[in-house]
Structure 1
Amino acid sequence: MSGVTLGGLAALARQQQLSLRQAFATDPARASRYRSSACGITLDYSKNLIDESSWQALQQLAAASPLKQQLNAMLAGDKINHTEQRAVWHMMLRKSQVAGLSLDGEAVGEAILDCRNKMTALVNQLHQGQYTGYSGERITDVIWVGIGGSLLGPQMAVEALTPYHISPVRLHFAGNIDGAVVSDVMKPLRPQSTLVFVASKSFGTEETKQNALALRQWFTDNGADSSAIARHFWATSSNIKAAADFGIVPEHILPMWDWVGGRYSLWSAIGLPVALMIGNAQFAQLLKGAEAMDEHFISAPLSDNMPLTLALLGIWYINGFGCQAQALLPYSHYLRLLPSYVQQLDMESNGKAVDAAGAPLPYATAPVIWGDAGTNGQHAYHQLLHQSALTVPADFILPLNAAHTLSDQHQRLAAHCFAQTQALMQGKTLAEASAECMAAGMSQQDAQALAPHKVSPGNKPSNTLLLPELSPYYLGALIALYEHKVFCQGVLWGINSFDQWGVELGKQLSGPIYQALAGKDATALDSSTQALIAAFLQQKKS
């Protein structure tokens, strides 16, 4: 089985014929052998469809890949995002020691420190009530305007760290071009005491720009002039001119760099909402946790490298078993937005059909990521996980200590989490289902009729990730873990994980359609799109 390739994983999977129930019954050391720890996080991957032979083959696959070379190239600032001619240096944003960092002649370290200092100062001013609006009132509310990576990261982290919130200032997120979003945000607020932060690398992203324009109009409708706009609007962008043309003064513009992709930007000024809500000291802990996972990823051997372990298991199921989805199941109410965050991180990074050279790939990449907080999912889609013919690998995530005092409920939550992984692994046989029915007092005939409906095949794989607690440090480490997992898979598949050209097509096509919705000629469009436009215009007219 040595020298296995991606193309050979399917044959290896067919050859393995592993029963997880039997594997646990015959190997008392299985749980300890397939277990690793990093940065305080424990990964139990013993409930996966691997034995020593297949796991060694996957390790050899990694060892034969250019993973180490690509990692070194990324750390060196090489333009590994070659289709956009950009370095990939988001790890530098969370380094504790950045002095002297330089990239292409730019003093990156100084720029990072300057950005951190400006963020710290603004957060302190807002917390202390020293930032006042155009009418002299202190700022009571901040509206964060963004989309994609400029929104998902800070929104997820703010939600996840709710128990750490200390801000006297309220925070509101406005994403999506649906006008209902920004309208609902504005309704209970007063512009005189509201600060608006526009997060857009290009300052031209349509959703963000339209929401920013609506908010600016809200200010002018309430008597704000250009100087008031300048005082109440901030931005993080690499397009200084566009932000200035909008009315934002240079000292209110925090940097975004080409070497940071949106879905990797939480560690930059995009993390300002997190710092605002939990304070500068705890935001530093978020960075510290991510940096600790970086150090583990860089230095740990292949056999005990947690991001690589997750990456290899994912590839095993996608290319070996033909799985097309992965469930991300945090057993934490505060982590309920994590699946949406990882969805973008994974699917936008690795949802590709050509390799780095532009040649068509002969295999699938990137699963469909979905999920929700446990135990909600147990009363919805877990039915499919347990009894359907589909195999959906799942990551279960549980903080061991809760931020609340209802200890018995947290114990029950943990029991459900562990029970789900056990049930997926061992299932329920027909004989067990029949015996269960008979024990409940059913007749043999009725038991035989009902038992097949209660059978669960088992042998469904899962990982369990245990965090000591859901603190800024461990959240930072957890996010970085998934970042590096995505990077490893991209290297193993031979793709560029850092561009997203597929996102652009819909944006390009929306322009002509918008013009057609405004009454311009639509005959160049396909008949279906023309009919949809006609229905929209007819309803608008009526």
Structure 2
Amino acid sequence: MSDAVEQAWQTVEACPVLTLGELFERDADRVGKLATRLEWGETGALFDWSKTHLSDDLMAAFETFAEARDFAGRRAALLAGKAVNITEGRAAEHTAQRGVGSDLAVEEAAALHHRMAMLVEAIHGGALGEVRHLIHIGIGGSALGPKLAIDALARENAEVDVHVVSNIDGLALEAAFEACDPATTMIAVASKTFTTIETMTNAESALDWLKDGGVADPYGRVVALTASPDKAVEWGVDETRVLPFPESVGGRYSLWSSIGFPVALAVGWAEFDAMLAGARAVDEHFRDTDGRANLCLRAAFADRFYTGVRGCQTRAVFAYDERLALFPDYLQQLEMESNGKRVTADGAPVSGPTAPVTWGGVGTDAQHAVFQLLHQGTVEIPVDFIASIEPGDALTPDHHRILLMNCFAQGAALMQGAKGEDPARNYPGDRPSATILVDDIDAATLGALIAFHEHRTFANAVLAGINPFDQFGVELGKAIARKIESGDSDFDPSTEALLEAAGLAST
């Protein structure tokens, strides 16, 4: 850490921290300063960070810290398509898929999107025969993004019934087979390298299922989504059904590329395009807004404060909307795979904590499961609430009214706490939360929410001095699994015993 960065961080640590109650008492305009609306098209959201411990002094200190970390330069490099993933010598050009990036990358993305749109429209038009089902096979970002978007947007009137399968456990694939008819099913195989063992094993089994179900040409029912189109063709997919995406688009940032094919197939190209537009609006805000006014950077200021100054080891996310039930799962990979690092971008040991553990659930279910610890436990856990003004159901308004009342009440209760004569009924309060209140959960809003968290994750990485775009920790377990597969027996006694008990020991 340079002297300028160290000095700026010491200023952050030295800032006096008031209680949430004191912050509101001393600043009548606190909500106006820290609850900001951002719009995309005809909808938008209120981003309310007023129930965090951010103060004017603390945000000013963080702005200086961000300057010392060269946040503006790192942001410009990201959006210009520079090699910001320095350990692998790659750019990270997911924003170009939405129209914000270098001219060349944006032009390439538009061409690939056009190719995908033509295939989607051809399938919807019956050019490939009757298609009622799609089994989308991927893992990690190749599955989490499509699964989230389809669950949020395709609950009713889906043009094609999509089943996302990521687990190598055969039960997951069998469940998809049970719900589909081979005669009217297509298979999408999503793999950046087209060598991922879990994905390719599931894909082979899906081909066998099609063949056993009477499909004469199983490969003719496969669409490949990959950054390695040659490998997909070699595997057997016709090049007209290979949808490439650039090597510079990482897995957990790949929903915007051809990995979004199952989303477009389920809800239509117009909806997928709206999702891109919502994300693009946040990209433009992130690109054009500086300091605390940048909502993604403001959120990162709070994240770094709670992790680096207060020592919070987790951050909870609760979606008070069933359509976002999978959003905490999506954020787990985005944030922990990106920023779960122990060395800086230069390869030196980090000087403090990087990413907290991201976890969460769905309100109001979570209130009756984990909120006891949030209110009265001995650990401080920052909480994000996400809710929608418009309901997703057509039932009596009481359902949504009670849902929103509970969401807002939890944030108020975490901050306010309560005192009583019975110690078991004391609540310390002064516990932080942020709320994102969207107008509705539509395609543009989902795109905006995901893009906001992508940029928040990047901002956190810059402030921590780490590279958010590699994930070498994911590779270690895979390498050891390959050693087991090859018959290598050089393991610790516990692992050897487990292999023996499962019948996997080498002979």
TM bucket, shorter chain = over 0.9
Deviation at 1:26, TM superposition (A): 4.6
> In structure 1, how many angstroms separate the alpha carbons of the residues matched to 2:51 and 2:158?
42
Counterpart residue number, 2:144:
152
Distance 1:64-1:486 versus aligned 2 partners, 3 A rule: same
Given the alignment, which residue of 420, 436, 439 partners 1:468?
Answer: 439
> In structure 2, how many angstroms separate the alpha carbons of the residues matched to 1:11 and 1:101?
41
SS in 2 for 1:371: strand
Given the alignment, which residue of 488, 491, 494 partners 1:525?
Answer: 491
Counterpart residue number, 2:186:
195
Deviation at 1:464, TM superposition (A): 0.8
Q: How does 1:217-366 map to 2 (within 5 A)?
A: 217-225=208-216, 228-366=217-355
Distance 1:34-1:111 versus aligned 2 partners, 3 A rule: closer
Counterpart residue number, 1:494:
465
> 1:117-154, CA deviations, whole angstroms, 9 ceiling, x for partnerless residues?
2322222233333421xxxxx12111100000000011
Q: 2:360 aligned with 1:376, yes or no?
A: no
Counterpart residue number, 2:29:
29
Counterpart residue number, 1:513:
484
Q: 2:117 aligned with 1:120, yes or no?
A: yes
Deviation at 1:239, TM superposition (A): 1.9
SS in 1 for 2:362: coil
Deviation at 1:84, TM superposition (A): 1.0
Given the alignment, which residue of 197, 202, 206 partners 1:215?
Answer: 206
Deviation at 1:51, TM superposition (A): 2.8
Deviation at 1:116, TM superposition (A): 1.6
TM normalised by structure 1 equals 0.88
Given the alignment, which residue of 56, 61, 71 partners 2:60?
Answer: 56
Counterpart residue number, 2:197:
206
SS in 1 for 2:151: helix
Counterpart residue number, 1:69:
73
> 1:389-447, CA deviations, whole angstroms, 9 ceiling, x for partnerless residues?
10000111111111323322111111111100000001012xxx23xxxxxxxxxxxxx
Counterpart residue number, 2:404:
414
* 8 Å CA contact retained: 1:126, 1:169: no
TM normalised by structure 2 equals 0.93
Deviation at 1:10, TM superposition (A): 7.8
* 8 Å CA contact retained: 1:386, 1:458: yes
Deviation at 1:284, TM superposition (A): 1.0
> 1:53-97, CA deviations, whole angstroms, 9 ceiling, x for partnerless residues?
22321222123321111111112211111111111111110118x
Q: 2:141 aligned with 1:170, yes or no?
A: no
> In structure 1, how many angstroms separate the alpha carbons of the residues matched to 2:350 and 2:488?
39
> In structure 1, how many angstroms separate the alpha carbons of the residues matched to 2:365 and 2:229?
44
SS in 2 for 1:38: strand
Counterpart residue number, 1:423:
413
> In structure 1, how many angstroms separate the alpha carbons of the residues matched to 2:352 and 2:97?
34
Deviation at 1:50, TM superposition (A): 2.8
5+ residue gaps, structure 1, are 103-107, 133-137, 435-450
Amino acid at match of 1:57: A
Deviation at 1:230, TM superposition (A): 3.0
Q: 2:98 aligned with 1:94, yes or no?
A: yes
Deviation at 1:157, TM superposition (A): 1.0
Higher Cα Rg: structure 1 or 2?
1
* 8 Å CA contact retained: 1:4, 1:57: no
Deviation at 1:101, TM superposition (A): 2.8
Runs of 4+ in 1 over 6 A off after TM superposition: none
What is the root-mean-square deviation in Å for CA atoms of aligned residues? 2.1
> 1:177-198, CA deviations, whole angstroms, 9 ceiling, x for partnerless residues?
1111112211242322110000
Deviation at 1:12, TM superposition (A): 2.8
Amino acid at match of 2:90: R
* 8 Å CA contact retained: 1:95, 1:291: yes
Given the alignment, which residue of 12, 30, 36 partners 2:14?
Answer: 12
SS in 2 for 1:168: coil
Deviation at 1:355, TM superposition (A): 0.5
SS in 1 for 2:223: strand
> 1:474-496, CA deviations, whole angstroms, 9 ceiling, x for partnerless residues?
11111110000011111111111
> In structure 1, how many angstroms separate the alpha carbons of the residues matched to 2:500 and 2:138?
31
* 8 Å CA contact retained: 1:9, 1:320: no
SS in 2 for 1:469: coil
Distance 1:86-1:415 versus aligned 2 partners, 3 A rule: same
Given the alignment, which residue of 124, 132, 143 partners 1:140?
Answer: 132
5+ residue gaps, structure 2, are none
Distance 1:74-1:11 versus aligned 2 partners, 3 A rule: closer
* 8 Å CA contact retained: 2:20, 2:53: yes
> 1:28-72, CA deviations, whole angstroms, 9 ceiling, x for partnerless residues?
322222222222221111111233322321222123321111111
Distance 1:353-1:79 versus aligned 2 partners, 3 A rule: same
Deviation at 1:219, TM superposition (A): 2.3
* 8 Å CA contact retained: 1:9, 1:316: no
Counterpart residue number, 1:448:
none
Amino acid at match of 2:154: T
> In structure 2, how many angstroms separate the alpha carbons of the residues matched to 1:167 and 1:333?
17
Amino acid at match of 1:497: P
> In structure 2, how many angstroms separate the alpha carbons of the residues matched to 1:54 and 1:396?
23
* 8 Å CA contact retained: 2:8, 2:68: no
How many residue pairs were aligned?
Answer: 497
Distance 1:160-1:460 versus aligned 2 partners, 3 A rule: same
